[in-house]
């Protein structure tokens, strides 16, 4: 209940222009700054360079007019950590969507490594030029590591979703991943990173749903799999996902993409769903990777005594059922 109250406070601060809440105190922050510097040196020890360019047409063999998919966000949306365009989340999602829709999918990726949520304003400007049918946003990790007030991050995300929806694009947002699953972060930094990540993810869910889109929790999607097979799920820098890690993320997001476009597809099935107040749904989603949250109504009303109604859809772990390697795209 406390975590739901925290998500409510962050969302309210975003709506009214406040700074929200912060996760760390002054003395603790001093210790964590030193640990963060060490983690940053470890992460940057194996530079990745620029992510592969995945823009282009996928699934051309299906024929018909292509769907327009745009990717927005940070290095995760850009695909940093892999070596070929086919391994990026944009390519994985485009090939999966093309197979479901029976139509080609044209990818425009405006995500940039290192982006924080404030960068979404410029990214949306570029994304709208592609007239997207569906937009996927993955952002939040850099906001946490830079200690951006969560209400500020959420305000930028909500505005981006609002603009995309006003242009008739369907929107799916992958919320902030659980940075506590990154093994280069040592306790107590890892513990605070987990708490801050989940607080932001819950608040992002509220903002996304309030603006007419759907959220998918990325949470600790790679955490459990990483513990069993760290060389497989993370790239050489031990921070960004590997090709298999991105495939797991794509498997989590793809069913929601298909659903918002009116395409029935959920190969992994789901474990159940509930219609509950948005703040409860947001917190529960942050705790379980792959969970989707969307708007709902009860008795013809979108809101109840505890705020907006939301549908919480629990899916099986996507990390164990990743999509196959895609074919290369034609040049954009």
The pLDDT-based confidence of 169 (bands split at 50, 70, 90) is very high
Task: Report how far residue 152's alpha carbon sits from residue 146's, in angstroms, rounded to the nearest whole number.
Answer: 12
Task: Report how far residue 120's alpha carbon sits from residue 137's, in angstroms, rounded to the nearest whole number.
Answer: 9
pLDDT at 164 over 90: yes
pLDDT of residue 209: 95
Cis amide leading into 188 (omega within 30): yes
pLDDT at 81 over 50: yes
Task: Report how far residue 133's alpha carbon sits from residue 181's, in angstroms, rounded to the nearest whole number.
Answer: 33
pLDDT at 16 over 70: no
The closest of 257, 289, 31, 37 to 178, measured between CA atoms, is: 289
By percentage, how much of the chain surpasses pLDDT 90? 39
Give the mean model confidence (pLDDT) for residues 52-68: 94
Q: 154 with 203: CB under 8 angstroms?
A: yes
- Count Cβ neighbours within 10 Å for each residue of 171-196 and write b for 16 or more, e otherwise: bbbbbbbbbbbbbbbeeebbebbbbb
- Number of CB atoms found within 10 A of residue 42's CB: 17
pLDDT at 58 over 50: yes
The pLDDT-based confidence of 183 (bands split at 50, 70, 90) is low
The catalytic residues are: 75, 237, 240
Q: Which residues contact 166 (CB under 8 A, 6 or more apart)?
A: none
The closest of 261, 259, 256, 263 to 290, measured between CA atoms, is: 256
Task: Report how far residue 262's alpha carbon sits from residue 35's, in angstroms, rounded to the nearest whole number.
Answer: 46
Give the mean model confidence (pLDDT) for residues 260-275: 73
pLDDT at 8 over 70: no
Give me Rg for the CA atoms of the chain. 18
Look at 60 and 271; give whichever has higher pLDDT: 60
Q: Which residues contact 7 (CB under 8 A, 6 or more apart)?
A: 199, 202, 203, 205, 206, 279, 282, 283
pLDDT tens per residue across span 242-258: 778 788 889 889 999 99
Look at 209 and 24; give whichever has higher pLDDT: 209
pLDDT of residue 239: 56
Look at 98 and 266; give whichever has higher pLDDT: 98
Average pLDDT, the chain: 78
pLDDT at 33 over 70: no
């Amino acid at each position: 209940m406390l975590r739901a109250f925290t998500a409510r406070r962050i969302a309210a601060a975003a709506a009214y222009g406040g700074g929200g809440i912060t996760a760390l105190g002054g003395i603790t922050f001093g210790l964590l700054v030193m640990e963060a510097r060490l983690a940053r040196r470890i992460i940057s020890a194996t530079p990745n360079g620029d992510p592969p360019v995945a823009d282009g047409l996928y699934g051309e063999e299906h024929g018909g007019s292509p769907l327009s998919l745009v990717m927005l966000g940070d290095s995760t949306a850009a695909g940093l950590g892999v070596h070929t365009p086919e391994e990026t989340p944009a390519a994985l999602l485009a090939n999966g969507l093309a197979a479901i829709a029976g139509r080609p999918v044209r990818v425009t990726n405006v995500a940039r490594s290192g982006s924080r949520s404030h960068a979404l304003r410029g990214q949306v400007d570029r994304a709208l030029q592609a007239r997207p049918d569906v937009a996927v946003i993955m952002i939040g990790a850099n906001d946490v590591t830079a200690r951006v007030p969560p209400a500020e991050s959420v305000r930028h995300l909500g505005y981006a979703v609002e603009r995309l929806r006003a242009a008739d694009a369907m929107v799916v947002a992958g919320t902030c991943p659980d940075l506590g699953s990154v093994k280069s972060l040592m306790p107590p930094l890892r513990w605070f990173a987990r708490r801050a990540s989940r607080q932001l993810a819950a608040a992002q869910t509220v903002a996304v749903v309030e603006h007419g889109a759907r959220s998918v929790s990325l949470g600790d999607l790679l955490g459990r799999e990483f513990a069993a097979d760290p060389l497989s799920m993370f790239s050489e820098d031990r921070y960004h996902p590997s090709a298999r890690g991105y495939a797991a993320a794509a498997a989590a997001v793809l069913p929601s993409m298909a659903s918002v476009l009116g395409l029935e597809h959920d190969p992994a099935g789901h474990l159940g769903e509930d219609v509950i107040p948005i703040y409860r749904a947001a917190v529960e989603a942050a705790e379980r990777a792959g969970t989707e949250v969307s708007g709902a109504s009860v008795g013809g009303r979108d809101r109840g005594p505890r705020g907006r109604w939301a549908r919480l859809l629990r899916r099986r772990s996507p990390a164990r059922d990743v999509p196959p390697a895609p074919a290369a795209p034609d040049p954009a």
